[in-house]
Structure 1
Amino acid sequence: MAAYVVNEIVVTDPDLFQTYSVQVPPTLAAFGGRYLVRSGASQAIEGEPPGRLVILEFPDRAAALAWRSSPAYSAILPIRDASSTSRVYVVDGYQPQ
């Protein structure tokens, strides 16, 4: 079952965040990851949306977690942490019974 990494981001240093942002895509391929949402235009229906929203799709939860702890992604994660605050979680996709 597919799994999704959801990252709600508030960017505090746009220039530094950009150096992180351009380095993420190459880290995804080895784990079958791809962007579904990468901070497109949003409109609140209820509540306040995050400053930036990213949703990644992976083949399953194991692949998502392996990407998150991979050496390639771990190397750039400090840049994200220094340039933003985030709420990140993984959620399994829907599988009809």
Structure 2
Amino acid sequence: MTAYAVAHLRPAARLDDEVFEYMERIQSTFAPYGGAFLVHGTTPEVLEGQWPGGLVVIGFPTLHDARDWYESKAYQEIAPLRTRHLAGDVILVDGVAPGYDASLTAARMREAQEA
């Protein structure tokens, strides 16, 4: 099942050179794990609430691949180039299986809540 590394980053007005170095090097760290940018360098259109900053989404074949990338020596070596200069949140999350039906999930949750 496809998994995602998702980052909500809130950059400063002026980016430090280390952030540019991070951006130049990151793709080579996730390529060996089957990772690919799905969202990067675009401004989200906010429809509800607030979203200060930018969004980055990297897709991976599995959650295991995403975790192996994040924990890899290559990524951990460059992560401080970003974390020293950009506030943000990073998560790993599994996608849904093909044919996923939210109404079935709602039914299971309703049943569990009423039990």
Tell me whether the two structures share a fold, i.e. TM-score over 0.5: yes
AA of the residue aligned to 1:17 = V
- In the other structure, the counterpart of 1:51 is 53
Larger Rg: 2
1:15-67 CA-to-partner distances (Å, cap 9, x unmatched) read 33112111101111110000000031321100112311100000000000000
Moved more, 60-69 or 85-94: 85-94
AA of the residue aligned to 1:14 = L
CA-based RMSD of the aligned residues comes to: 1.3
AA of the residue aligned to 1:5 = A
AA of the residue aligned to 1:88 = V
1:1-97 equivalent positions in 2, closer than 5 A: 1-12=1-12, 14-15=15-16, 16-95=18-97, 96=99
Aligned length: 97
Runs of 4+ in 1 over 3 A off after TM superposition: none
AA of the residue aligned to 2:47 = I
**Aligned partners of 2:57, 2:77: CA distance in 1, in Å?**
20
**Aligned partners of 1:49, 1:92: CA distance in 2, in Å?**
22
More strand by share: 1
**Aligned partners of 2:3, 2:23: CA distance in 1, in Å?**
21
Q: What's the TM-score once normalised by structure 2's chain length?
A: 0.78
**Aligned partners of 1:3, 1:20: CA distance in 2, in Å?**
22
Moved more, 59-68 or 16-25: 16-25
For structure 2, the 5+ residue unaligned runs are 101-115
More helix by share: 2
**Aligned partners of 2:28, 2:52: CA distance in 1, in Å?**
25
In structure 2, the residue corresponding to 1:55 is in which secondary structure? strand
AA of the residue aligned to 1:37 = V
**Aligned partners of 1:9, 1:70: CA distance in 2, in Å?**
21
**Aligned partners of 1:70, 1:6: CA distance in 2, in Å?**
17
